[in-house]
Chains A and B, each alone.
Chain A
């Protein structure tokens, strides 16, 4: 594997980095894991808190079936073993953001066992090497509340809105060997979660965060001692943590020191990690099965429903785009990298096939090219995304149909598109209103061709004398005279005829 040869050059030779990620992904669900309270992001503090979340005396947890379902679907999406029998455990510790004094989690019997994710080592190059990263397990657990230390000079405030929100903890095997692999893994995982719809993947809102386990070793040696950097909240930061930690650990080891097994925090401003607590003062969490909850038993009908509800996943979709739609590997990869993009593209495709009365395969290439060049270019320029695009897939399909049936030329299409972006108008209406319909009227075009040739008699001479390149000049002059509305094919034919 050429890509796995990421090496840190130390004074004593080359070092290899070993990385495992524990990703906490907030389950997309209207209600919390064990209470009916809502989970909206950004709500006023302590407005999404039930009696259960506040751990009032006598309150009991009841598992939310939808959260369980999402965890199972996620497990299925990574080809993991689904455990039909799992159990919740209590992780006991005291903290002000943890009202119960324990977090309900799954230590001994997680709901999802081993699975795997295939990553592509170079996003830009679909033909680059792929690598399979093992998943150890996925378990579901409660999130904690949030402490706010900046609201009062001497007091801390507690916001319990997140308290009890369902998280999936997705634990990878220590299979990654470079910052790029860690980044690719996290991106791919996020893509899968978004496809499945089990997590919105919004790392900036805290819906997804990673604990990054890093160790270094001489290539081929035993695993070294690892550190765990907590709550890293972007792909870029994860890569930065790996890079920083790996070189820090190499420095420590080469200076004759030992890497301390500890929890660290990442400071994005300084781009460094800092020690948070070492193993010596680690908590004894006193895990034990939660006696308020029965074991979670999943029946076959439930599992089948989960399986049926899974959408086409990114890898399968990418292959289908290449094989069935005839898209380039690059276009297929870009269009499937985000669930939203693929969804938009498929809406465009379906509408295009419908209005042009063609198969999706017949309209796929033009649709893909227009989306990735015209639409993306425009959105970039406007600082928008597909989500808030002023142009809908239906508008796009209509525009492409107007090109395909010769109503407008590609050049005019660009004008129409600009007007669509500005006004949100429909392409057909814009073409009519602005009189942009392309003409194939041979009589009208012939007249213009005759005029152009008459005005440029000298160039006609040169052309006839062998200067073939001037043909384009005549085309351009004709089109210009017709304000771009002439059918270019007809122009070509008539020019050829007129020039003999």
Chain B
């Protein structure tokens, strides 16, 4: 029997049903990997007992001949942005250190109801703000990948779902949840050679997810295969009356609908995503991706998304504006950390608590957001950004009159060394340049690995689909996955 931690979600599910191994075997194997990978710092809290409990329940159900739940026997990682009942939930911030929710987020509850077990709470950028997982209060997540040629630099797993991406790439879990506000699923997936999909805005309930930017935040799965993403997403999505922006639609059977036959589909190649100075290896991978999709039967057309260059500045107005308000509730009054200096009044306590509880990147975004919403600047920044956001969404609508999906790179570079971009927030923000437009338009978008660069690091391709058409996105991802034959994995050093 091969190592159980090398199996995909589908293989674990099916092997468990076939009696090839017990759910407990699987949970123990992953628990052991988690326990042995402290050097990666992927988990903030480990919950081996929860993984075992779910596994034992699955084994008992199977022994009793009961109908098995869709994710019976599958342990997963949970990004620590999802509130989990009875398990500390921090959003990787000092502010929420020690906060234990009395409630379970809708998405995580759906996964547990589907039979999945929790291996632990995964590290992330603080309040999901960051692209390298360097803003966590609980320390950087270290990518399991290394550059080839003896360069021992610790690399970024991407962010904000860096704990999720690193843990999956290092075989600490077969799948994990992520959240994506401007690329937080797709960019870390690309950096670590795995797949991840951000569904259409409103597919997954935001209830119980610590909010960053409400109009952009979407939960989605991350895993090593496209099929695993389809399985996970089916068990995460669905209407939730507790979230006003949740879509009241049936959840499609994405796994059953998987097909890499793209005949009759048109793939749009947006010319604005090929700026001067685009990394040559990424450009080359993109070209290979185009050929793979042609090979799968798709027709390729060039399209234009003329407002693409405004997407990043628009995003960095809207997201901080919403964040500055969403994070106002962390005031030290009701839960989480409180700093109450001697003789402090209410305002002093707010100031001290927030100064102590938030990291520098969070503070930077709260300040940006506060500034763009303030009297005299609101119209120039926020109102203008909303108008541009509408134009960006219209760009996509017009492009989708000519095609069914778009193919682009996921990120402008491969993973970089931790610390390399810390000093320059703008350079860090540029990581999101290809992922942010789909977020602003609320469209489904997926990252799939396409190959390695010259340094042996993974590069990803991004597929953007029409609203609600996750199926086509997944199918194109599958076509690439089959043709790319991406089998590289990080060599274990931890």
Q: Does B373 reach chain A (CB closer than 8 Å)?
A: yes
Q: Does B210 reach chain A (CB closer than 8 Å)?
A: yes
Pair A101/B325 contact, Cβ less than 8 Å: yes
Question: Inside 8 A of B373's CB, which chain A residues have their CB?
Answer: 92, 286-288
Contact with B along A90-125 (1 / 0, CB 8 A): 101011100111100000000000000000000000
Q: Does A60 reach chain B (CB closer than 8 Å)?
A: yes
A288 to B373, CA, bound (A): 7
A63 to B242, CA, bound (A): 10
Q: Does B455 reach chain A (CB closer than 8 Å)?
A: no
Q: Does A293 reach chain B (CB closer than 8 Å)?
A: yes
Contact of A286 among B211, B334, B346, B374 (CB under 8 A): B374
CB distance from A299 to the nearest CB of B (A): 16
Contact with A along B315-328 (1 / 0, CB 8 A): 00000011011011
A54 to B327, CA, bound (A): 14
In the complex, identify which listed stretch (B52-60, B95-103, B295-303, B396-404) lies at the interface while the others stay far away. Answer: B95-103
Q: Does A269 reach chain B (CB closer than 8 Å)?
A: no
Pair B101/A57 contact, Cβ less than 8 Å: yes
Pair A288/B105 contact, Cβ less than 8 Å: no
Q: Does B370 reach chain A (CB closer than 8 Å)?
A: yes
The main secondary structure of chain B at its interface with chain A is: loop
Pair B333/A99 contact, Cβ less than 8 Å: yes
Question: Inside 8 A of A286's CB, which chain B residues have their CB?
Answer: 324-325, 370, 373-375, 378
A56 to B334, CA, bound (A): 8
Contact with A along B343-383 (1 / 0, CB 8 A): 00011001000000000000000000010011100100010
Question: Inside 8 A of A56's CB, which chain B residues have their CB?
Answer: 83, 101, 103, 334-335
Q: In residues 422-457 of chain A, which contact B (Cβ within 8 Å)?
A: none
* Given known A-B contacts A56-B335, A60-B243, A94 and B213 have beta carbons under 8 A apart: no
In the complex, identify which listed stretch (B111-119, B185-193, B201-209, B423-431) lies at the interface while the others stay far away. Answer: B201-209
A287 to B325, CA, bound (A): 10
Pair A54/B242 contact, Cβ less than 8 Å: no
A358 to B91, CA, bound (A): 74
Q: Does B41 reach chain A (CB closer than 8 Å)?
A: no
Q: Does A128 reach chain B (CB closer than 8 Å)?
A: no
A200 to B351, CA, bound (A): 40
Contact of B244 among A54, A63, A94, A99 (CB under 8 A): A63
Pair B244/A60 contact, Cβ less than 8 Å: yes
Q: In residues 367-419 of chain B, which contact A (Cβ within 8 Å)?
A: 370, 373-375, 378, 382
The main secondary structure of chain A at its interface with chain B is: loop
Contact with B along A54-77 (1 / 0, CB 8 A): 111111111100000000000000
Question: Inside 8 A of A292's CB, which chain B residues have their CB?
Answer: 206, 211, 214, 244-245
* Given known A-B contacts A96-B346, A294-B245, A58 and B329 have beta carbons under 8 A apart: no
CB distance from B211 to the nearest CB of A (A): 7
* Given known A-B contacts A59-B207, A99-B334, A288-B378, A90 and B242 have beta carbons under 8 A apart: no
Pair B321/A288 contact, Cβ less than 8 Å: yes
CB distance from B230 to the nearest CB of A (A): 26
Q: In residues 216-252 of chain B, which contact A (Cβ within 8 Å)?
A: 241-245
Pair B207/A58 contact, Cβ less than 8 Å: yes
Q: Does A150 reach chain B (CB closer than 8 Å)?
A: no
Contact of B331 among A63, A92, A101, A284 (CB under 8 A): A101
Pair A58/B334 contact, Cβ less than 8 Å: no
Question: Inside 8 A of B99's CB, which chain A residues have their CB?
Answer: 57
CB distance from A162 to the nearest CB of B (A): 16
A319 to B375, CA, bound (A): 49
Listed residue (A99, A100, A101, A294) with the most chain B CB atoms within 10 angstroms of its CB: A101
Listed residue (A56, A58, A94, A100) with the most chain B CB atoms within 10 angstroms of its CB: A58
* Given known A-B contacts A56-B103, A99-B333, A286-B373, A92 and B325 have beta carbons under 8 A apart: yes
Contact with B along A261-301 (1 / 0, CB 8 A): 00000000000000000000000101110011110000000
* Given known A-B contacts A63-B244, A288-B373, A288-B378, A58 and B211 have beta carbons under 8 A apart: yes
CB distance from A93 to the nearest CB of B (A): 9
Listed residue (A102, A286, A292) with the most chain B CB atoms within 10 angstroms of its CB: A286
Question: Inside 8 A of B214's CB, which chain A residues have their CB?
Answer: 291-292
Question: Inside 8 A of B96's CB, which chain A residues have their CB?
Answer: 57
Question: Inside 8 A of A55's CB, which chain B residues have their CB?
Answer: 329, 334
Question: Inside 8 A of B375's CB, which chain A residues have their CB?
Answer: 284, 286
Contact of B210 among A58, A90, A293 (CB under 8 A): A58
Contact of A94 among B101, B331, B334, B382 (CB under 8 A): B331
Question: Inside 8 A of B329's CB, which chain A residues have their CB?
Answer: 55, 57, 99-101
Question: Inside 8 A of A158's CB, which chain B residues have their CB?
Answer: 333
Q: Does B89 reach chain A (CB closer than 8 Å)?
A: yes
Q: Does B22 reach chain A (CB closer than 8 Å)?
A: no
Pair B241/A62 contact, Cβ less than 8 Å: yes
A271 to B465, CA, bound (A): 67
Identity of the chain B residue whose Cβ is nearest the Cβ of A283 in the assembled complex: B375
Identity of the chain B residue whose Cβ is nearest the Cβ of A147 in the assembled complex: B346
Q: Does B215 reach chain A (CB closer than 8 Å)?
A: yes
Question: Inside 8 A of A61's CB, which chain B residues have their CB?
Answer: 244
Pair A60/B242 contact, Cβ less than 8 Å: yes
Q: Does A51 reach chain B (CB closer than 8 Å)?
A: yes
CB distance from B210 to the nearest CB of A (A): 5
A284 to B329, CA, bound (A): 17
Contact with A along B145-172 (1 / 0, CB 8 A): 0000000000000000000000000000
Pair B209/A58 contact, Cβ less than 8 Å: yes
Pair A100/B101 contact, Cβ less than 8 Å: no
27 inter-chain pairs at a CB distance below 8 angstroms, sorted by A residue, are: A56-B334, A57-B329, A58-B82, A58-B83, A58-B101, A58-B105, A58-B206, A58-B210, A60-B206, A60-B243, A60-B244, A62-B243, A62-B244, A101-B327, A101-B328, A101-B329, A101-B331, A102-B325, A156-B346, A158-B333, A284-B374, A286-B324, A286-B373, A286-B375, A288-B325, A288-B378, A288-B382
8 closest A-B pairs by beta carbon, nearest first, are: A101-B328, A291-B214, A286-B373, A291-B215, A55-B329, A58-B208, A57-B210, A292-B214
Binding site for A on B (CB under 8 A): 82-83, 89, 91, 96, 99, 101-103, 105, 206-211, 213-215, 241-245, 321-322, 324-325, 327-329, 331, 333-335, 346-347, 350, 370, 373-375, 378, 382
> Given contacts A100-B328, A288-B325, could you give 14 more A-B pairs where the C-beta distance is less than 8 Å?
A57-B99, A58-B82, A58-B209, A58-B210, A60-B206, A60-B207, A92-B373, A94-B328, A94-B350, A95-B346, A96-B346, A156-B346, A286-B370, A287-B373
